[in-house]
Amino acid sequence: MIYNDSHMIIYPILTPNDARRTEQKAFELGVPSLLLMEHAALAVVDELEKALGGSCKGKRVLFLCGTGNNGGDGLAAARLFAMRGGKPTVYLTGAPKTPDAKANRDWAKMMNIPLINLRDMPEAELPFDHSGFFEDFDGKVDALLGTGLRGKPDALSSRLIEAANTEYIFLSKPMIAVDIPSGIDGTTGESLGEYVSAHVTVTFHAPKLGLYLTNHREAVGKIVVADIGLSWYSDAFRLSDLEINCKTLMPAALGLMKERAMNAHKGDNGRVLIYAGKMGMAGAAAMCAKAAVTAGAGLTTIACEKEIIPILQTLVPNAMCIDIQDAIKNPPPYDVFAVGCGLGQSEEIWQNILKLWDVEKPSVWDADALNLLAKHEMKLGEKAVITPHPGEAARLLQWPMEKIMDDRLAAARALAEKYGCAAVLKSDVTVICGMNDGRSKYYLNAVGSPALAKGGSGDALTGILAALIHRRQGLEDAALACLWHGMAGVVGEETFGQRELTTDQLIACLHTAERWGLGEIPAPKRFR
């Protein structure tokens, strides 16, 4: 997923109910609903114009419009597209039902834009059922259902979506979704029937929760967050009023990692103790330590089996090494404890963890440490972060894997509650969850790449987390670490390839990712 981050660096994530309440507050302040619809339509046409190569002039685009305000957005966009020299055709799945949608239909009629009500046509004459029909258009806009969908699309909408998606696969002409691809639930991300596959989703005011939780990530395409004239900085729009306290960080949020003071020394930047690695798994410890060093840890020490110390000293010369037996007798001073990468799961290892771990200091628990934790359930404390993938989460919670993936928010909350810590539930969209006065607080990170689906990526994330959480900024630091890791994956995919990227190369991309976040270099092509 890709974001327009020009307006804000942290966005709330809205449920459809949140979005409606936010708009209602604007209406109560006197903001005309038609004005918001016009701003939404402008954003859609701006993205459509980009997708068509930079000009609307002479291009033929089909606008698929439902009967509600999502359809009204589409009708307004068709009119604005025509004003830029485009040639729109509008398919309606019925007569508009809302006042704003009716007004935009009437304006479209005044401009002689072709409006075809499919609901009035005999089934045998529906034009989109004919082979090659969509080849006549340069692109399409999906304004059928929006976030108001409950259940599955009706029969006519389903047939239209199915036909449009067939063209999507074979012709690859741009499909722009308005707010959310039709057929995807705005809250859960579920699709109970047909759903639109979009190249770009223009979502209004703030991202919708369903865009993150859907199992059909490809259908969402590039996400553009469009400012339609509402503001989160006003007292009228308080985050505390939202159903779910959930946010996402834009790439520019890396600017929250402040520059170091001119007189900074290594002790100021965090002493990280990593307990990781065994013979045959030294690489996991090395990747974790190398990521911690690269992400800014002032001093990094690896506690490990004596036999692999020569390997680690060669792979990560910037890190110090200590025999685990010496470490448990005389633990080295540290600010952050990271544990688990390539470690093993013996009872002796668990006892070593307990001897090194200090509940009063930040800690990161990954991999084998999580599997051991599942066998020795205990509260880790609010300064700890656990980083399970879904399989590890299933073991930690004793839940079926399907239950984890069906509701990742609930799974992350259950992890945070059960172990009394922050939980980073890793997946294509990572859920970062912590508890605050009994209420869960979430960050979601969807910035990443399939190139990260490779052994070693989690070890690198553990090192980055350890380097950042020494600042003790809470959940935000964990979210920043996930964002930075994902951005490095995007940079790495563009530089080295989606299949070819190694963990060493991923870590080497952290600097380029930071420069992207700070606006010093252009975003990778996929994010423009």
Tens digit of pLDDT for each residue in 509-520? 999 999 999 999
Same domain? For 108 and 189 the reply is yes
Residue 255 belongs to a domain: no
Domain end position, chosen among 248, 282, 314: 248
Which residues is 202 bridged to in the sheet? 178, 224
Q: What is the pLDDT of residue 1?
A: 44
Q: How buried is residue 103: exposed, middle or buried, by Cβ count under 10 Å (0-12/13-18/19+)?
A: middle
Lowest mean pLDDT among 130-134, 215-219, 239-243, 342-346: 130-134
- Name the least confident of 125-129, 357-361, 450-454: 125-129
Are residue 432 and residue 505 in the same domain, yes or no? yes
Handedness of CA 286, 292, 297, 302 (dihedral sign): negative
Q: Which residue has the higher pLDDT, 37 or 269?
A: 37
Q: Within 10 A of 331 (CB to CB), how many other CB atoms are there?
A: 16
Residue 460 has pLDDT above 70, yes or no: yes
Model confidence at 231: pLDDT above 90: no
Q: How far apart are CA 62 and CA 46, in angstroms?
A: 16
Alpha helices in 10-68 (DSSP H): 16-28, 33-51
Which residues have CB under 8 Å from 12's CB, separation 6+? 18, 206, 232, 239, 242, 246, 247
Is the domain of 186 the same as that of 70?
Answer: yes
Q: Given pLDDT bands bounded at 50, 70 and 90, which one contains residue 472?
A: low
* Range of the structural domain that residue 306 is part of: 266-522
pLDDT at 313: 97
100 against 9, higher pLDDT: 100
- Residue 257's pLDDT is 86
What is the secondary structure of 265-297 as a DSSP string? -GGGG-EEEEE---TT-HHHHHHHHHHHHHTT-
CA distance 503 to 451: 10
Residue 243 binned pLDDT confidence (cut-offs 50, 70, 90): confident
Sign of torsion over alpha carbons 359, 364, 369, 373: positive
195 or 472, higher pLDDT:
195
pLDDT confidence bin for 3, thresholds 50/70/90: very low
Q: Which of 221, 248, 275 is the last residue of a domain?
A: 248
Q: Percent of the chain at pLDDT above 90?
A: 78
Whether 408 and 461 share a structural domain:
yes
Q: How confident is the model at residue 64 (pLDDT cuts 50, 70, 90)?
A: very high
CB proximity list for 430: less than 8 A, separation 6 or greater: 424, 444, 445, 446, 448, 482, 486
Q: Which region among 26-35, 94-103, 470-479 has the lowest average model confidence (pLDDT)?
A: 470-479
What pLDDT, on a 0 to 100 scale, did the predictor assign at position 77?
Answer: 98
Residue 13's closest CA among 270, 290, 205? 205
Question: Cβ distance 2 to 200 under 8 Å?
Answer: no
486-505 pLDDT, tens digit per residue, is 999 999 999 999 999 999 99
Mean pLDDT (whole number) for 193-212: 94
| Virtual torsion, Cα 181, 498, 477, 419, nearest 10 deg | 80
pLDDT score at 72? 98
Regarding whether 229 and 188 lie in a shared domain, the answer is: yes
In a domain? residue 528: no
Considering the domain architecture, whether residues 270 and 242 belong to the same structural domain is answered as no
- 257 lies in some domain: no
More confident residue, 168 or 384: 384
pLDDT of 122 above 90: no
DSSP state of 341: T
Are residues 164 and 283 both part of a single domain?
Answer: no
CA dist., res. 445 & res. 448, Å (int): 8
Share of the chain above pLDDT 70, in %: 95
CA 61 to chain centre: 30
Which residues sit opposite 481 in a β-bridge?
Answer: none
Contacts of 522 (CB under 8 A, 6+ apart): 516, 528
Judge whether 66 lies within some domain: yes
**pLDDT value of position 97:** 97
Same domain for 133 and 208, yes or no, is yes
Q: How many domains does the chain have?
A: 2
| Residue 462 and residue 340 share a domain | yes
Q: Where are any strands of DSSP class E within 146-280? A: 175-178, 200-204, 222-226, 245-249, 271-275
287 and 216 co-located in one domain: no
- Position 2 in a domain: no
Residue 335 lies in a domain: yes
Q: At which of 248, 277, 301 does a domain end?
A: 248
User: Which residue spans within 305-387 are E strands per DSSP?
Assistant: 320-323, 336-339, 363-365, 384-386
Which among 429, 152, 134, 230 has a CA at the least distance from the CA of 411? 429
Whether 67 is covered by a domain: the verdict is yes
Residue 160's contacts (CB-CB under 8 Å, 6 or more residues apart) are: 64, 91, 93, 118, 128, 144
Tokens encoding 128: 């989109």
What CATH number does the domain containing 236 carry? 3.40.50.10260
Whether 337 and 463 share a structural domain: yes
Pairing status of strand 245-249 against strand 10-12 = antiparallel
Q: Which two tokens stand for residue 477?
A: 């630091």
The larger pLDDT score, comparing residue 171 to residue 180, is at: 180
Contact 352, 328 (CB under 8 A): yes
pLDDT at 5: 46
* Residue 275 φ then ψ, to 5°: -105, 105
Q: What is the mean pLDDT of residues 188-204?
A: 93
62 and 187 both lie in a single domain: yes
Confidence (pLDDT) at 171: 56
Q: Which of 110, 58, 115, 99 has its CA nearest to residue 81?
A: 58
Query: Considering only CA atoms, which of 283, 280, 205 is closest in space to residue 459?
Result: 283
Task: Provide the pLDDT confidence category of residue 233 given band limits of 50, 70 and 90.
Answer: low
Average pLDDT, rounded, for the chain: 92
Inside any domain, residue 80: yes
The answer on pLDDT for 268 being more than 90 is no
Tell me the sheet residues that pair with 441. Answer: 245, 434
The CATH number given to whatever domain includes residue 351 is: 3.40.1190.20
Residue 411 has a pLDDT of 98
